[in-house]
Structure 1
Amino acid sequence: MSTESTMSGIIGVFDAFGRSVTNSALAIADRLCKVSARHAQLYCSPTGCEALGRVSIGVYNAAPQPVWNDSATVAVVFAGRLIRDKFEVSNSQNLSDEQWILECYRRHGVAMPVLLRGVFSVAIYDVEQRRVLVAADRLGLYPIYYAHRSGHFAFAPTQNALLCDEYIPATLDWVGMAQYMRFQQLIGDTTFFEAIKFLRGGHQLVYDLDSDTLQEVVYWRFDPNFHTRSDITFEDAADETVRLLLQSVARCTEASHRYGVFLSGGLDSRIIVAALGCLGHQPPALTYGLPTARDAVYASQVAQRAGLAHHTCFQENGKWVEQYWRQHLYLTDGSHAWVHMHGIYALDLARQLMDVNLSGFLGDTLVGGEALREYLSGARDDAYTYFAKIFEWLITLENWPGMTEWEEQLLYTPATFAQIKGLAFASLQEVLRPYLSYPEPIRTELALIWNTDGRHYSRYMDFKRSAVELALPFVDPDLMEFVLTLPPDYRRKRRLSRAVLRRLSEPLTQIPYDKDDLLPTDNNLLRSSHAFVQKVQRRLARLVGAQTTEQNTLHSDYERWLRTDLRAWGESILFDQRFLERGLFNPEGIRWLWERHMSGKELWTIGKLAPIMSYELMLREFVD
């Protein structure tokens, strides 16, 4: 079957009781092909009880799938890119990734996923063993959602696609709602629906058709015997980080695709640009957002300094949100709110410029030490202090400030509050417990990497994959494993990021960083002198009444847009009869929160409103 698809991913439907799954599989594939013109391939067995397929935009893994072994007894579907240089099998130089996986499965059976390195999703159907194996990469960056119910097992890249299967009910999960409203994201394996789970990074599923049993296994976790290195100086650590990063970028660009960079004013994309330059690449760069944002201003300077062709896709108002919210919802399930859809309007241009975007994903966390902030570096030896600190962090600092305890009571109806009270914190504790065996600060870093980067920020990649594939240099396993063992002070406050950038391109350290407007150099004299000059210039401008162009610190002004361009749209969601009749939220409380936002007297109320709006849109599109 060839049709249209949203993003690269794998799908499968299997029934142990002999019921046909063909219609369910076709419905799932059709839902995944709703948004953009690409490809879907689907195999249905002669009995109609097994279906396996792949949706793809035709960049990575372009050959038809499933791929079968020579005896046509084992099939594999695969999305993503493997790093195969550590676990090579004999005579495999000419094997595709899919053929290589089949050979690893032949040798190692269900233990095969431990050999896989890279960013991917994979499923194997063993006809003779009547067994299905599904595995996510170590971080779960190609999403896999699954459901197992009464002899029926299905998986797909989105929750909403699985709801097209008649055997999977759309019963809401109160835990999912509680997490989403408090954290503005989902964590662990929770989804919006009781019957559906998220396959976490480093996990695999083994489904036995004969016994109708599903087993979830952890095939990889960060070294439980972790210890911080004490045998390396900062300068040597920076040199080795550069070497490993260049190795990673070389791996990411070894195929004959058109590569490009979504360029911001931050450090991650700038480091990628610098590394590409060292390897002789000058890819096109694309910047989106407000034209007056620091992001855009400094990205332009970086592109000019690096000699890149710089393309822009700017939006000066918020009207584009009404055009793109539905596309974003179908690609992400709404699992991060509509205020995280920035850049979706630039995807048509991106597809013209590149096949693969080299993304800076995880760079700020890994090399920049984002999770090593002082706020998270207090006394956290006991479990309860640790749980409370992370809880407070997710609500107040990770995104816009979210719903507080007292707001929760005012905004929900009494019936909803009775169901949802305490679930966000209780579920967070369960998610965090496996990390307690690690020492601080790596404990918190791992928890945040797998549950905020892996479950929240990776959703940006979901909608970008509807147009281009992504290569993730900072997610390279060799780089990650090295950097996470370095002394924390080497990475705090982006110290290592600045040292890496200086080694790759000294000129790019002379352009300010968008978040603090300071030069990203480890030359403290130059950095402080630049800050002093800027301060003096701003003060003189105010004294003489000079007109200056105000630079937005954020690339998208969702707060203001909801008060102006998107006000009617917001009211059509929150004060519509369908919203009121659901009985989930207290209408008076919602009106009170809306008026607080409309007054403009209070910052960051968007973090409380946006999840409620996106949740309602999700219900309208996928449940009603």
Structure 2
Amino acid sequence: MICGWFAPGRDAGGAAIVDAMAHALRVHEAERWVIHRAPGGLAIAAIHAGQGDDDPARDQPAVSANRRFWLWMAGEAYDGGSLCRVPSAAISRTRPFRQTLLEAVLAHGLDAIASLDGRYQIVLFDAVERVVTVAVDRFGGLPIFWAHSTEGTAFAGGVRGVLMAPGTDARPDPEAIQEAVTFGGFRLGGRTNVRGVKRLRGGAILEIAECVTVRDYWNWPGAPPDHDRPLDELIDEAHRLWQQSIAVRLSDARRPGQTLSGGLDSRAILAEAAGAATSWTALTYGVEGCDDARYAERAAAAAGATWTFHPLYHGSEPDWLERRTAFIQETDGLVQLSDLLHCESLHLQPGLFDVHLSGYIGDVVCGTTYDRVVDAPTLMAKMPYTGVPIGWTWELALAWGAAAIDGLAPSEAKFAIYEHKFSQAIHPIFQSYAPYVRLRTPFTDYALFDFFAARSPQSRERLYRSWLARAYPGLFRWIPDQRTGLPVTAPDAVVTLERYRRGGIRVLSSALRTAKISSGRSRVRAYHDEHRRWTMPAIRERIEGVIMRRGSVSADVFGRDALRGTLSDWFDRANGPVQTIGALYAFEAYHRDLPAHLRAAAHAAAQRTGPRVSVLA
């Protein structure tokens, strides 16, 4: 992860600022960095997580022959497209590759990274024009946050790093929590939880000189054709691209693995990768005996993988609420409490695997999850719009949705989900894994994404499931998908009947509970048990205590009575989504603990005998 400070023409103090930024970003003691100070007011560091790279030049930037241009890169690349050759992910992390990349960028322009597949942050410095240019990959796989003031401009892979820079406005952003309670627990666009820091969108470039400008170098694709090639041809090509995506992401893995659910996306990774690797470990977390665990265990056995299960909500000192709360500063308060359950197994992952292949947004890229988003009302259904009284009105949400879709034209309306929900709600979950294991997301492979984005609506209805069933019958023809409880080969009519059967069982079970009649041990379909766990008196008291604390920003924004009403609606009547309560908790815990976190980082930086500083000339 990169962090930097640019104050044009002012060299003094930059290294100390960046060192404090790096201390704020650090999440464990194995992380290391060297600060580079360039003439003209730039100081920059790349933080390494200690994941096995032994390249002695890993901290060094690439430099042009005339020493005018300097290039840093954090993360890695998998394919260079039309820009340059990428021999392997491991080589992409070396200085020789950065030199190749710099030469390609100088020849073709920085916008040419649109074809550079990877998860990365790139910083290019022009020492003559005194311009710093920062870019991230198409999907913002490694994020950049930034702030500009009269003192200078800070940029980093985490909000907390940017907040260490002088002049940054760290006051809570009331619009952040208003958006979060309205839309499933997350903010919109580039907003963070503080007023002065913004997130750079994926596929964008931040140019810093005396002023700051942001522009896109890549945009979401337009509408696909109405007609397509035969399904058999598409299945063959999808499989070839998938094998290629997995292969380049496994090339340097010594102990590869994944988190495995009962759904299709992580199982698709298991199906291809377990056979390609010398060993494979699958970690499943959830409620004991849940469908996800049962289906994942069957799939792991069928693939010959080692399977490990981690039960949620177990343990004490710390308990599950304390464990999740401990990740709030690491995730900059951007992940609401219920989604923080995905971090509960992080302490296990480094011991199980060095490379984690994630099924992130698989069905969205290859399937039809958001294909029916065509206008503002259908966008609201999928964000989703919560309808809680303290959130936006329906009319305001619709107006925002229409503007968001118009702003993406001529791209399809569904990409508003990518632009806002994924970058704000889903990305931060998996980005939090990066300091612990090397995270790779094969479904965001550029060639694979471009292929599926160009498919007709009729092809997309059938392609993903047909391909999986044909390519990996042992894992998909008989083992059910957690979402439906049936294998992917089940006819649509059978899936519909199963949905009605499940609904009927839920109604009957509820009636029996109301009548206090035992119905025996019920099947555990969901992998989590949030409402029951949160409403336990001791846990409820702690959650409400944080949200309603003295100095609560949310109470100031919504009013204490309205906030109490929202809490009561959910805790007492299960009315409303858990994400609303989770967002309120994460927002308040974040702002409660943020000053202490920043003070501790400043103290650690001050106690250091002196950061390693390399002066560039």
What is the aligned partner in structure 2 of residue 502 from structure 1?
469
SS of corresponding position for 1:122: strand
Q: Return the offset for 1:426.
A: 5.6
Of the candidates 560, 583, 595, which is equivalent to residue 532 of structure 2?
560
Could you tell me how far apart the structure 2 residues matched to 1:426 and 1:537 are?
A: 39
Which string of whole-angstrom CA distances, capped at 9 and with x for unpartnered residues, describes residues 162-202 of structure 1?
11112111133343333222112122222223322111111
Q: How many residues in Structure 1 have an aligned counterpart in Structure 2?
A: 577
Q: Are the equivalent residues in 1 in contact too, given 2:188–2:424 (CA < 8 A)?
A: yes
SS of corresponding position for 1:566: helix
Aligned: 1:189 with 2:157: no
Which structure 2 segments of 5+ residues have no match? 597-617
What is the aligned partner in structure 1 of residue 606 from structure 2?
none
Q: Are the equivalent residues in 2 in contact too, given 1:271–1:500 (CA < 8 A)?
A: no
What is the aligned partner in structure 1 of residue 379 from structure 2?
390
- With 42-51 and 455-464 compared, the bigger mean Cα shift is at 42-51
What is the aligned partner in structure 2 of residue 606 from structure 1?
578
Matches within 5 A, 1:307-318: 307-317=304-314
TM-score (norm 2): 0.84
What is the aligned partner in structure 1 of residue 366 from structure 2?
367
Aligned: 1:27 with 2:8: no
Which string of whole-angstrom CA distances, capped at 9 and with x for unpartnered residues, describes residues 233-261 of structure 1?
22322221111111111111122442101
Q: Are the equivalent residues in 1 in contact too, given 2:226–2:457 (CA < 8 A)?
A: no
TM-score (norm 1): 0.83
Q: Are the equivalent residues in 2 in contact too, given 1:395–1:403 (CA < 8 A)?
A: no
Matches within 5 A, 1:88-237: 89=84, 96=94, 97-150=97-150, 152-183=152-183, 184-208=185-209, 212-224=210-222, 226-228=223-225, 230-237=227-234
What is the aligned partner in structure 1 of residue 605 from structure 2?
none
Amino acid at match of 1:45: R
Assess, with a 3 A threshold, how the Cα gap between structure 1 residues 503 and 467 changes in structure 2: closer, same or farther: same
Aligned: 1:579 with 2:552: yes
What is the aligned partner in structure 1 of residue 49 from structure 2?
57
SS of corresponding position for 1:515: coil
Which string of whole-angstrom CA distances, capped at 9 and with x for unpartnered residues, describes residues 262-311 of structure 1?
11100001111111245355411111121122111111111111111111
What is the aligned partner in structure 1 of residue 30 from structure 2?
38
Q: Return the offset for 1:603.
A: 4.8
Q: Are the equivalent residues in 2 in contact too, given 1:175–1:424 (CA < 8 A)?
A: no
Of the candidates 560, 564, 569, which is equivalent to residue 596 of structure 1?
569
Could you tell me how far apart the structure 2 residues matched to 1:119 and 1:586 are?
A: 41
Aligned: 1:67 with 2:61: yes
Could you tell me how far apart the structure 2 residues matched to 1:92 and 1:605 are?
A: 46
Matches within 5 A, 1:311-350: 311-317=308-314, 320-350=319-349
Could you tell me how far apart the structure 2 residues matched to 1:364 and 1:403 are?
A: 26
Assess, with a 3 A threshold, how the Cα gap between structure 1 residues 92 and 15 changes in structure 2: closer, same or farther: same
Q: Are the equivalent residues in 2 in contact too, given 1:69–1:99 (CA < 8 A)?
A: yes
Could you tell me how far apart the structure 2 residues matched to 1:527 and 1:274 are?
A: 23
Which string of whole-angstrom CA distances, capped at 9 and with x for unpartnered residues, describes residues 343-379 of structure 1?
3221121101111111111111111210024xx3xxx
Matches within 5 A, 1:367-446: 367-373=366-372, 376=373, 380=374, 386-396=375-385, 402-404=386-388, 406-408=389-391, 428-438=401-411, 443-446=412-415
Could you tell me how far apart the structure 2 residues matched to 1:221 and 1:292 are?
A: 43
Could you tell me how far apart the structure 2 residues matched to 1:109 and 1:339 are?
A: 42
What is the aligned partner in structure 2 of residue 3 from structure 1?
none
Could you tell me how far apart the structure 2 residues matched to 1:222 and 1:436 are?
A: 9
Of the candidates 427, 433, 440, which is equivalent to residue 464 of structure 1?
433
Which string of whole-angstrom CA distances, capped at 9 and with x for unpartnered residues, describes residues 424-447 of structure 1?
666555433222323xxxx12222
Which string of whole-angstrom CA distances, capped at 9 and with x for unpartnered residues, describes residues 382-403 of structure 1?
xxxx23432343234xxxxx34
Which string of whole-angstrom CA distances, capped at 9 and with x for unpartnered residues, describes residues 122-162 of structure 1?
11223233221110110112111011222511101111221
- With 89-98 and 362-371 compared, the bigger mean Cα shift is at 89-98
Amino acid at match of 1:206: E
Assess, with a 3 A threshold, how the Cα gap between structure 1 residues 559 and 126 changes in structure 2: closer, same or farther: same
What is the aligned partner in structure 1 of residue 599 from structure 2?
none
Q: Return the offset for 1:67.
A: 2.0
Could you tell me how far apart the structure 1 residues matched to 2:592 and 2:296 are?
A: 38
Assess, with a 3 A threshold, how the Cα gap between structure 1 residues 146 and 301 changes in structure 2: closer, same or farther: same
